[in-house]
Amino acid sequence: MLSPPTVALDRAKKLPLYAREGVEHAWILDADAQTLERLRLEDGHWSLHGVHAGNDVVRAEPFGEIDLELRLLWAWPAESAT
């Protein structure tokens, strides 16, 4: 989950570390933009395999059998505060 103070760290430092360690999939959630970016490690480099937004329902590796309703992610903090 991106947050303004850690965007550079998440993208510039963590993703190369994950690639070096052989992590095959990465998701970048941006609550402000309400987007999910799906990345896959291919030949040692990250490849963008989809961008989803808003109320999309996503089935994404490595959890392709599960429907992920993005609207629930964006609503969660507001609903949990009540």
Domain range summary for the chain, segments of one domain joined by +:
4-80
Note whether 60 and 75 are within 8 A (CB): no
Q: What is the pLDDT of residues 27-82, one digit of tens each?
A: 999 988 999 999 999 999 999 999 999 999 999 989 989 999 999 988 865 545 44
- What is residue 77's predicted lDDT score, i.e. its pLDDT? 57
pTM of the model: 0.82
Measured distance CA(19)–CA(56) in Å, rounded: 27
Structure tokens at 31: 């609550």
